[in-house]
Every structure is written in structure tokens, then in C-alpha cells.
Amino acid sequence: MLLAFAVIAGGCANSTTPADRRSDASGARDGGSTTGTDAGPGGGATDSGEPSVDGGDPTMSPRYLHCGRVYDQELEYFATTGDVHPVMLLHHDDTSMPASEGGAVCNVRPFCNEQVTRIEDGATLSGVFTFMQTFNIQVASEEDPGVGSFRLTVDSMVIVPWTNMSGSGTAGFNNFPVPTWMVPDAGEHRFTIEATGGFVDVRAVTPVCRTSTGGGPPTVDLKVNGSDGTIMLGAPAHYTLTWTATEAATCEGSGAWMGGRPLVGTETKTGVPIGTYVYTLSCSNAAGAAEDAVTVRVGTGPG
């Protein structure tokens, strides 16, 4: 289930459009309990030189996170279980409102009153990313008897153990983990934020793209029914496409299939009518791009 999130008004680094880019400085929040930083590959988003890793296909749910700050109103990048919903939260920290909403800083009165995402006890917020160098999230510490603890996991690895977010004074958002988590490889990973013993409030996650692969462009291998090139089948045709891309940031289908594709996958086509179908898979990373294609010719008789 995807939650109909409200727009997050504050933030730290990148949104999906240049006009909405946001920036934070590090510093203590009200109450002085925790600080957060959002600078560079070691601590947050960057504003240039990053390839997009947007999955591109609205049928993929959730889609791969894009580079830089991903706000929770970007619904296609998140999945939820349990009770996850938007709430208004007054917070005092070193974030700022986006330029499109006035650009007010949140460390001076009247601070920032924003809609953020509340994960209730037992609920989760999750997503998928690939080709990332670092990853962290922003969670609020709050003076509220209903506040609980959160845990961040990536695949089966605990990145942030259960951490209670009870605080004092005005709420403030903090980065977790500190220092930011270094993603061990360029492959696909799933993150999950869980809440227990009460609610936790989250505003964004921050994946930072890898800027090099240690090698050249990606490699792509696309097959149909286990074969390269062209095959011929009778109508109605049934066939299977399989593919593998290595060291790729993003893959996109074109021709007879459109939209983003995962780095490794299988698709089965059934009941395909007479015609010629060309499937092209194009993948890229910071070093370049590569593609592969197969053709299926469906005729009136058996192939």
C-alpha cells in the first residue's frame, strides 16, 4: 500500500526539481540533545554530478530511489505496512523551507510547522535503492508521551538499532546513522524503518549515488527464451525475456516494452498476436552506457 503523503515543507538537500533544492547547516536543535549534518558523500545529498537511478516505470512499486534527498510526498518511492500517515509537526532545527515555499529557516522563531510522516507502533516505511554510495534518514526527537523507538534495517542488516526518540523542548529532526551508512556494494538493497512502543516521525531519506564504478560502462545481457538475436514463433506466442546488467545505475526498456527495469529480471509474455516485437534494454552509470536488444517475430504458423 502506498500512503497519500502530504508535502514535506522542510528538508536538507535535494528534491526532485532544481527549483526545490534545499540546504541545511549542521548544528544543535532546540533542547540541545542531538545534531544533524547533511554535507556531501559522508553525510547527505549532493547537488551535481549524480546519475539518476529513478526506476522510471510507474508499474514498479516501489521504484528505485533517485539520487539525493527523497521526500515522503514522492509516493512512488515508498511502501508501507500498518498505520503510516501525515501529521503537522512544529520543529526547531537547522533545516529550512524550500525556496518555492518561502525559504524560511527553522532555527529562528516561529520555527517551522510542517507536515511529516508518522509511523505508528508496529508499522513500517520501506523502499528500494541501487548504485548508492551512502544512505541515511531523518527522524524527529519529540517531547510527547506517545513517542516510541525506531529501527533502520537494510536487507537483513541492522543499520540503526532500536533508538528511542523521546526528547525535550521543541521537536527537531536528526540524521541517522551518524556517520552516514556506507553502502557496501552497487547492488539492489531494501531499507525498512520500523516503529515500536509508540510513533516516530520521519521527513526524508537520503541516498547518495556512486560517482564511479571502479571500471567502465555497465554490461547488459538480454535474452528471449534463452537466445540472443531474433526468434520466430507462431501466434498466439508465449515467450520469456531474461536480463542481467552489471555495474549499472539505471536500466530502461524501449521498443516493445517501456519504462524502468531492475538490474536483473524476468518477464513472461503470453498470448502475443502476429507482429514484430523489438525489446531494447539500455543501462547506464557514471562511466557510460550500454544496451542489448532481442527481436521476436510472431507469425501465423508455428515458429
**What band does 35 get if pLDDT is binned at 50, 70 and 90?**
very low
**At 47, which amino acid appears?**
D
Question: What's the DSSP call for residue 207?
Answer: E
Poorest-pLDDT segment among 41-55, 93-107, 240-254: 41-55
CB proximity list for 224: less than 8 A, separation 6 or greater:
231, 239, 240, 241, 242, 279, 294, 296
Question: In the chain, what is the greatest distance between 2 CA atoms, to the nearest angstrom?
Answer: 76
Average pLDDT, the chain: 77
Write a three-state SS string for 4-52. CCCCCCCECCCCCCHHHCCCCCCEECCCCCCEECCCHHHHCCCCCCCCC
**Burial call 50-74: b when 16+ CB within 10 Å, e when fewer:** bbebbbbbeeeebbbbbbbbbbbbb
Nearest Cα residue to 105 out of 237, 198, 12: 12
Looking at residue 134, what DSSP letter applies? E
Q: Sketch out the chain's domains with CATH numbers.
A: 18-209 (2.60.120.260), 219-299 (2.60.40.10)
| The three grid cell numbers given for residue 190, joined into one nine-digit string | 531494501
Average pLDDT over residues 4-17: 30
Mean pLDDT of all residues in 113-133: 91
Whether the CB-CB separation of 67 and 45 falls below 8 Å is answered with yes
CB 232, CB 303: distance < 8 Å: yes
* Closest-CA residue to 242 (of 270, 260, 265): 265
- Has residue 270 got a pLDDT over 50? yes
Q: What is the torsion angle, in degrees rounded to the nearest 10, for the CA atoms of residue 41, residue 42, residue 43 and residue 45?
A: 0
Strand pairing class (288-299; 229-234): parallel
What per-residue confidence (pLDDT) applies to 251? 86
Of residues 41 and 202, more confidently modeled: 202
Residue-level pLDDT at 61: 67
| Strand 132-141 with 172-182, pairing | antiparallel
Say how far apart CA 114 and CA 65 lie, in whole Å: 23
What SS3 class is residue 216? coil
pLDDT at residue 303, rounded to an integer: 53
Distance CA 223, CA 38 (A): 42
What's the grid cell of residue 79? 511502501
Is residue 43 very low, low, confident or very high in pLDDT (cuts 50, 70, 90)?
very low
Look at residue 113 in the predicted model and tell me its pLDDT: 83
Look at residues 260, 264, 228, 227 and name the one whose alpha carbon lies nearest to residue 245.
264
Give the Cα separation of 233 and 206 in Å (integer).
46
The whole-angstrom separation of Cα 162 and Cα 140 is 14
